[in-house]
């Protein structure tokens, strides 16, 4: 299992890994050995450095190639080449039967090594706009999985079961949740505070993920308006907060988008404008085109249009979201990988 750098990539590795371990504990396919290969950069080591579900973990000195100057690109490619040779040795040492890649620069060495050694390569793409590495390797993958592509053999996105268990049909807005991620999103914070008085006047409760560095200032702003809002940064209770809400205003990272879908929670997406290949916008558009969500660019935020959403009957979108995602994505991918053993 390889790839990472950011939580969106790493969450897929974790979800599929947990599905394999769960089936092993149930006595189904007890011989799998799991190996993780990532980078010293990004969040890879923080997620899996101490993870005992993996028989071996390897972290290479690699970094991204995009957004580097000419000399920086050369250095990054040399680091990738060295790590790819090491990856070839790892495949041979462990007699790997399949490489599962989730993309990101962390995945490059092992993905290239898979092709050099003739080892089957299975790729999972999280976003509607393909990442640069996955776009390059897609023609060479034995299986390419994407919830956005009709030809994908698996459409279900790996989402934790709790989000499906919390699903319910929404009809009207009694509670709204603002989701800017654990780091926060200034545009979403500003929008929330700009309409807070109108929401409070309508009796709408506010839940607000303001980002760990913005909790105090956002909380003080609500208090100055005399509004009781639940404000937080990082949380392990996100599924519970989503369950309580009737409408979300959120970024459109893949994990957030599909967790909202699994919870049947309608959303207005405000994509991060600097995401690679503008992938958050295209993630949101996937649901917008099915009339299951709304999207606004940061520079197009219209307070009156946002408030107008609170008068809509949400039940049709909520039901549609519930039908848009199957709940066994992790298990389906795990079972696919086990066919190579």
The predicted pLDDT at position 191 comes to 97
User: In 10 A of CB 96, how many CB atoms?
Assistant: 20
Round the average pLDDT of the chain to a whole number and report it.
93
The predicted pLDDT at position 138 comes to 96
Mean pLDDT of 50-76: 85
DSSP 34-65: -EEEEESSTTHHHHHTT-TTSSEEEEES----
Band of the pLDDT at 309, cuts 50, 70, 90? very high
Nearest to 1 by CA among 132, 140, 111, 156: 111
Q: What is the pLDDT of residues 230-277, one digit of tens each?
A: 999 988 899 999 999 999 999 999 999 999 999 999 999 999 999 888
In the structure encoding, which two tokens stand for residue 184, read together? Answer: 């926060």
What whole-number percentage of the chain has pLDDT above 90? 80
Q: What is the pLDDT of residues 144-182, one digit of tens each?
A: 999 999 999 999 999 988 999 999 999 999 999 999 987
Asked if the model's pLDDT at residue 84 lies above 70, the reply is yes
Measured CA to CA, the distance from residue 319 to residue 15 in angstroms comes to 25
User: What sections of the chain are H helices per DSSP?
Assistant: 7-25, 44-48, 70-94, 108-117, 132-137, 161-165, 186-201, 215-224, 238-244, 254-263, 279-288, 303-308, 315-324, 329-338
Q: Indicate the DSSP class of residue 226.
A: T
Asked if the model's pLDDT at residue 75 lies above 90, the reply is no
Band of the pLDDT at 183, cuts 50, 70, 90? confident
Domain 7-159+327-338: CATH superfamily is: Glycogen Phosphorylase B; (3.40.50.2000)
In the structure encoding, which two tokens stand for residue 172, read together? Answer: 């009207």
Identical fold for domains 7-159+327-338 and 162-324, yes or no, is yes
Nearest to 341 by CA among 131, 128, 100, 153: 100
Asked if the model's pLDDT at residue 51 lies above 80, the reply is yes
Instruction: Fold for 162-324, please state it.
Output: Rossmann fold (3.40.50)
Asked if the model's pLDDT at residue 30 lies above 70, the reply is no
The predicted pLDDT at position 127 comes to 95
Measured CA to CA, the distance from residue 104 to residue 250 in angstroms comes to 23
Measured CA to CA, the distance from residue 26 to residue 41 in angstroms comes to 35
The predicted pLDDT at position 201 comes to 97
Annotated domain spans of the chain? 7-159+327-338, 162-324
The predicted pLDDT at position 269 comes to 98
The predicted pLDDT at position 143 comes to 98
The predicted pLDDT at position 29 comes to 63
Only one residue has tokens 């197009």, namely 300
Sort 201 into a burial class: Cβ within 10 Å, 0-12 / 13-18 / 19+. Answer: exposed
Mean pLDDT of 87-107: 95
Q: How many CA atoms lie within 13 A of 105 on its CB side?
A: 22
Measured CA to CA, the distance from residue 204 to residue 157 in angstroms comes to 31
Only one residue has tokens 């696919």, namely 336
Backbone dihedral region for residue 184 (phi beyond 0: left; psi -120 to 50: alpha; all else: beta): left
């Amino acid at each position: 299992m390889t790839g990472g750098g950011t939580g969106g990539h790493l969450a897929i590795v974790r979800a599929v890994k947990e599905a394999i371990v769960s089936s092993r504990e149930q006595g189904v396919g007890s011989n799998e050995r799991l190996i993780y290969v990532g980078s010293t950069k990004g969040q890879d080591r923080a997620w899996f450095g101490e993870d005992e579900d993996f028989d071996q973990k390897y972290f290479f000195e690699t970094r991204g190639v995009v957004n580097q100057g000419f000399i920086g690109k050369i250095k990054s490619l040399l680091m990738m080449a060295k790590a790819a040779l090491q990856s070839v040795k790892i495949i041979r040492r462990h007699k790997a039967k399949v490489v599962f890649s989730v993309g990101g620069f962390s995945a490059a060495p092992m993905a290239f090594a898979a092709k050099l050694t003739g080892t089957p390569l299975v790729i999972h793409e999280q976003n509607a706009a393909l990442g640069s590495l996955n776009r390059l390797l897609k023609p060479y993958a034995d299986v390419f999985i994407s919830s956005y592509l009709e030809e994908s053999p698996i459409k279900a996105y790996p989402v934790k079961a709790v989000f499906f268990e919390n699903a319910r049909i929404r009809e009207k807005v009694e509670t709204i949740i603002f989701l800017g991620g654990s780091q926060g999103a200034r545009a979403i914070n500003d929008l929330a505070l700009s309409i807070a008085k109108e929401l409070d006047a309508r009796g709408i409760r506010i839940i607000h993920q303001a980002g760990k560095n913005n909790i105090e200032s956002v909380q003080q702003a609500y208090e100055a308006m005399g509004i009781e809002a639940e404000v937080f940064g990082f949380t392990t209770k996100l599924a519970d907060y989503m369950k309580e809400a009737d409408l979300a205003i959120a970024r459109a990272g893949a994990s957030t988008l599909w967790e909202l879908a699994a919870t049947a929670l309608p959303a207005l997406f405000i994509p991060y404008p600097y995401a690679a290949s503008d992938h958050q916008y295209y993630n949101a558009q996937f649901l917008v085109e099915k009339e299951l969500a709304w999207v606004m660019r940061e520079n197009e935020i219209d307070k009156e249009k946002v408030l107008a959403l609170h008068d809509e009957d949400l039940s049709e979108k909520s039901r549609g979201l519930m039908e848009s995602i199957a709940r066994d994505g992790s298990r389906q991918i795990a079972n696919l990988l086990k066919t190579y053993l």
